[in-house]
Structure 1
């Protein structure tokens, strides 16, 4: 046999052997698939939402009389005690009315005192028989009229004092002046709020949570909060309130958190993000969410067992961090076929790598 032909035959045999080496196992045993060997692990179910810092009890303050602003003695953000003057309105006219009413009250009081003296003197004369009963009654009428005038004058004084007090807006509680919408010289309309006030020293975190997660939340759950302005300083909080209604336009529900120890940098309306712990399980079997698919009768997963791929019906629980809890259908140690591969139930296959 010529040498060239011999080399050709050897080359063909090598190629056939190589083809058999790569192709035959795939034909006999199927392709290699990436799999994950399932194992129980701790599972923490969380709900993440964003919101803002708010006062524990906020109120809008204004004046009950229309007048111009005379003074704004407290700056925005200042912490004040109950009764502190927050806004002073021009009061010259009302002060003059009070002075006038006070003078009228003093005059009425003097008239009453004189009427009482005259009545006492007339009583002595009546007892001695120098005047008639009609004359004594006339003096008594003067006393009663003077007393009525005193009461009316005192009422005018009280009314003027009340109007004067209405020209001063004071802190209803210990707290913080959050915002002021007017400056000196501005006209304040009666009944229009011009100050925003937060009572107390407390701070709340108010979050807008998607209504889909409402069933997972309950008062008392723990949360980790971070301000957008200080992501390096997260702090702990507790869920204290879930609003009784859902915002129909946004599909959200307001959830309130109470910080365990509010940091000093926490400011009103500061944007924050919070991760609330809805549930913890010491041991749970989970699979990647993408590894599940819809099948006859419910959700299915692909499992590699005995050299073949098989579809396994599964019952699932909660989902967290891209993984889904499997309550039944799979067990620890099973080889789960990972998504993104050409795998169909019944095909032969081998494990390529375990994650």
Structure 2
């Protein structure tokens, strides 16, 4: 009996304690989002501005002109006027070949001219004498005609001799090899006294460096944009030098006449001024080409976009410092920026701390990150950002893509 009485007393005491705790329990908020301390976040305001869509590719620097220097006659090298790597202008001498045989041929041809000129003078005197005699009926007209034929033949021989002199002089001019273009010399592959011929390997290569071209490929879907840019004067093409050595501004100069069926791309070229020799033939550079401008676009940081089960959302800070989820559609996303629909200009979009935020969460906004801090900064209007050709976005949960039609 005593055990039963003690058990009953304990039950009554426990029930009394539960009733005394009931008010405390009822005072606890039922919403898990509003419970606990405010979540620390940072935000960036959504911008509305014209956004330039650019395509990014890897291009190869190619010279507009590159000439391999070979002799036009077989001879030995008498003198070398150039150093390897030297900058030369059109017409400057590069090599001098042994021209003694050609000089002899010129002298021989000139002597033949003098000989035939003497024969011509004699034929002309004979013709004049025969004309006088025929007037006095001492000779027939046949003799005059024969002398006239002889004069005409000698005149033709003199003309042929003079042409032979010019041919010999042309052959002799081949002994002086000059730069056909302005550019930079490559490796000199011959030495003094070397025997060279037209079939020999190139003696040196002269490459034009200014202006210079960058060849790259564009997706087939951007062919019309490239053609329109070409018709309007080439548009704007930027070459991004490796290792952060800056950029160069150029313009589109060529679009190929066919699309590569294997890759679905079209080859294009852009022309750049290269007075500082920043672009070198054969080097790889990044290329950015503007294809269109999105008018009045809403721009947010890519880092603010969260991929949810029902699509992409961003969290914005509403009145009362509470977070709200806004479904968005990414129109164009690349680099640090994303052009979206679903938010308004000026909305405070949460960037850092978004992973700890739920709809209705009370947030405490901390100081904005500096320009050199962790992502989440939307670029200022007109700022140039790295824009890949068709790459994925770097923001968490955000995928990049081209402009939607």
Residue 109 of structure 2 corresponds to residue 101 of structure 1: yes
Q: Which moved more, 1:272-281 or 1:236-245?
A: 272-281
Runs of 5+ unmatched residues, structure 2: 1-17, 369-405
Residue 202 of structure 2 corresponds to residue 178 of structure 1: no
Q: Work out whether residues 53 and 203 of structure 1, in 8 Å CA contact, stay in contact via their aligned partners in 2.
A: no
Residue 152 of structure 2 corresponds to residue 152 of structure 1: no
Instruction: Check 1:93–1:60 CA distance in 2 against 1; reply closer, same or farther (3 A cut).
Output: same
- Distance in 2 (CA, whole Å) between partners of 1:178 and 1:252 is 32
Q: Deviations over 1:213-244 (max 9, x none)?
A: 9567642326375475x93xx46523242442
Residue 297 of structure 2 corresponds to residue 286 of structure 1: no
Partner residue of 1:325 out of 335, 339, 349: 339
> Of Structure 1 and Structure 2, which has the larger fraction of its residues in strand?
1
Taking only aligned residues, the RMSD between alpha carbons, in angstroms, comes to: 4.7
Residue 139 of structure 2 corresponds to residue 131 of structure 1: yes
Q: Which moved more, 1:83-92 or 1:210-219?
A: 210-219
Partner residue of 1:350 out of 352, 357, 361: 361
- Distance in 1 (CA, whole Å) between partners of 2:359 and 2:183 is 71
Counterpart for residue 236 of structure 2: 221
- Distance in 1 (CA, whole Å) between partners of 2:220 and 2:304 is 20
Counterpart for residue 13 of structure 2: none
Counterpart for residue 88 of structure 1: 96
Q: Work out whether residues 36 and 336 of structure 1, in 8 Å CA contact, stay in contact via their aligned partners in 2.
A: yes
Residue 197 of structure 2 corresponds to residue 188 of structure 1: yes
- Distance in 1 (CA, whole Å) between partners of 2:307 and 2:220 is 22
Instruction: Check 1:139–1:183 CA distance in 2 against 1; reply closer, same or farther (3 A cut).
Output: same
Q: Work out whether residues 211 and 252 of structure 1, in 8 Å CA contact, stay in contact via their aligned partners in 2.
A: yes
- Distance in 2 (CA, whole Å) between partners of 1:263 and 1:172 is 20
Q: Deviations over 1:237-281 (max 9, x none)?
A: 23242442677689684542424xx55464754957556473587
Instruction: Check 1:193–1:28 CA distance in 2 against 1; reply closer, same or farther (3 A cut).
Output: closer
Counterpart for residue 168 of structure 1: 176
Q: Work out whether residues 44 and 320 of structure 1, in 8 Å CA contact, stay in contact via their aligned partners in 2.
A: no
Q: Work out whether residues 178 and 197 of structure 1, in 8 Å CA contact, stay in contact via their aligned partners in 2.
A: yes
Q: Work out whether residues 65 and 166 of structure 1, in 8 Å CA contact, stay in contact via their aligned partners in 2.
A: yes
- Distance in 2 (CA, whole Å) between partners of 1:58 and 1:211 is 29
Partner residue of 1:237 out of 249, 260, 265: 249
User: What aligned pairs does 1:256-271 form with structure 2 within 5 A after superposition?
Assistant: 256-259=270-273, 262=274, 264=276, 266=278, 268-269=280-281, 271=283
Runs of 5+ unmatched residues, structure 1: 1-12
Instruction: Check 1:55–1:291 CA distance in 2 against 1; reply closer, same or farther (3 A cut).
Output: same
- Distance in 1 (CA, whole Å) between partners of 2:55 and 2:143 is 90
Q: Tell me how far 1:325 sits from its aligned partner.
A: 0.8
Counterpart for residue 312 of structure 2: 300
Q: Work out whether residues 211 and 246 of structure 1, in 8 Å CA contact, stay in contact via their aligned partners in 2.
A: no
Q: Work out whether residues 333 and 339 of structure 2, in 8 Å CA contact, stay in contact via their aligned partners in 1.
A: yes
* Count of residue correspondences: 327
**Secondary structure of the corresponding residue to residue 112 of structure 2:** helix
Give the alignment's TM-score, normalised by structure 1: 0.68
Q: Tell me how far 1:92 sits from its aligned partner.
A: 2.8
Give the alignment's TM-score, normalised by structure 2: 0.61
